[in-house]
Structures are given as C-alpha cells and as structure tokens.
Amino acid sequence: KDVEFIQSSYFNKLEFTRFSSSVGKFVGFTEYGVRNAADWNNNPSLLSNMKAAKEVYCLNNIQTDYTAAL
C-alpha cells in the first residue's frame, strides 16, 4: 500500500507531465503538458496500462529491491 508508481516526462530539464498511481491519471505542469495530459487521460487503454504498471514494475520487484537495499 505504501508503493507508488510515478512516470514523469521531461523536456529541457522541465517536467511537463507526470503519471502517479496514487492519483490514477496524468497531470500536466506546463501548457503543453496540460494538453498532453488531457489527451492521455481520455485514452482508457493507456490509463489502464499505466495503472497496471504499478503491479508489473513495483510489486513484483519490491522484495528484491528492499533486500538489496538492506
């Protein structure tokens, strides 16, 4: 429950969009990012893939990463 999947998009060291599994949608931080986030949030297959990424990337590897960190 404490695991969060975040995917950020950057251009010229400026973050313009971010997907967070706790929010469940894309958020835009620039004018371009807001437009992209609106388009991406209207795509149900993209949103379901991003929501599933938490299970694919995080939950399958958390025990290995936790053990390696200790």
CATH numeric code, 6-69:
3.10.320.10
Both structure tokens of 62: 């958390």
Top pLDDT among 60 and 34 is at 34
Domain residue extents for the chain: 6-69
Joined tokens for residue 42: 């209207």
5-59 confidence digits (pLDDT tens): 999 999 999 999 999 998 999 999 999 999 999 999 999 999 999 999 888 888 7
- Predicted pLDDT of residue 1: 57
> Using CA atoms, how far apart are residues 39 and 65, in angstroms rounded to an integer?
34
Which pTM was predicted?
A: 0.80
DSSP state of 2: -
Q: Give residue 6's pLDDT.
A: 93
